[in-house]
Amino acid sequence: MSPFTKKDFDEFQETESRWFWQVGMRPNDRYVHALNFSLYVGGPDVIGAQNLGALCIWGGTLPSERLLFILKTYQPTVIWTSPSYAWQLGEKALKAGIDPKKDLNIKKIIVAGELGGSIDATRKAIEDLWGAEVYDFYGLSDIFGACAAQCEYHDGLHIAENHILVETVDIHTGEVLKPGEVGELVFTTLRKHARPLIRFKTGDIGRIDTTKCKCGRTHGRISILGRKDDMFIVSAVNVFPSDIEAVIREQSGITGEYLIRIFEKDFTAKHAVEIEKNADNPKDDDTVAAEISAALKARIGVKPAKVVVHPDGGLDTRSEHKSRRVIDERNIDYNI
């Protein structure tokens, strides 16, 4: 958790107001804040929307039925939640006979806490389901609820450079890298009084882009590729679960849910990818598995050892908050 002085907290909320404005929120918007309020630095971000002048509904982590009732009754225009929950909530709405595109009024979905909002295929899938635009925010519980946020061009996330200095460092040597090079993102707070951080290692792998964005904002941008802990090496190829997600979400005939199992065989790391086939997909499981395997090989460079096909709903990955999609079954510690 991040401690704040009064000044820190005010500046945190001012930054959040700026991000909300950046994604197009205006005082006539109705905003539902569907993030956890309990011991979670994203919770107070709702005050940033309130200070901007939007009407704010302090939703928190409500059961889906209650949240859908709010979306239907009060017709909010902006919501913030996790990408996996945005997807599941849209699906639940459809099953309850509510079409998110016609019966609800959500125009913008802010997502954070998972990588999905920066994976184009995932963002597009959520946008198609809701008929709304999805914006990725990136926060650190050690600093602010959102330290960086996408603009209307969705080409990386603008950094709050007046508060945070972002660097990338080599994951092996710690050497500072140039903009554009991929490494671990390291944050230094510039204004925080309560527990300032110097070169705090985020555990996230990404790159910095210092070129001017098409939107005209001059603040640099970060692109996030994945968690350092989630990256695994198969046949000398660095594999990020986000690369696998991007492929899975582009395929037709499957639900888009997935689970990655990393295991060890003959002293070598292998991975299996489990997916769900749509009920109306006429293809047999072996054909679907072969197609997914080929698509993964084409994108990532390595084939999974196995693709396991489940029926719709067969994977237990749906959650009300963050989904667990990677299970590491290796006993040894791969020091990367």
Interface positions with Zn ion (CB under 5 A): 151, 213, 215, 217
Residue 193 CB, nearest approach to Zn ion (Å): 29
- What is the chain's length? 336
The DSSP element (H or E) to which 19 belongs, if any, is helix 6-22
Closest approach of Zn ion to the CB of residue 215, in Å: 3
Q: Using alpha carbons, select from 109, 29, 35, 111 the residue that is nearest to residue 76.
A: 29
Q: Which is nearer to Zn ion, 165 or 213 (CB)?
A: 213
Residue closer to Zn ion (CB basis): 158 or 325: 158
- Residue closer to Zn ion, measured from CB, 111 or 307: 111
Q: Residue 327 — φ and ψ, nearest 5°? A: -120, 120
Would you say 85 or 138 has its CB closer to Zn ion? Answer: 138
Q: Shortest Cβ distance from residue 280 to Zn ion (Å)?
A: 40
* Phi, psi torsion values for 249, nearest 5 degrees: -75, -15
DSSP string, 147-212: SEE--TT-SSEEE-TTTEEEEEE-TTT-PBPPTT--EEEEEEESS--SS--SSEEEEEEEEEE-SP
| Residue 76 beta carbon to Zn ion: minimum distance, rounded to whole angstroms | 25
CB of 148 to Zn ion, least distance (A): 11
- DSSP class of residue 213? P
Tokens of 244: 């696998």
Task: Report, in Å, the least distance between residue 156 CB and Zn ion.
Answer: 8
Please say whether the beta carbons of 34 and 72 come within 8 A: no
CB nearer Zn ion, residue 138 or residue 258? 138
Closer CB to Zn ion, 192 or 219, in the complex: 219
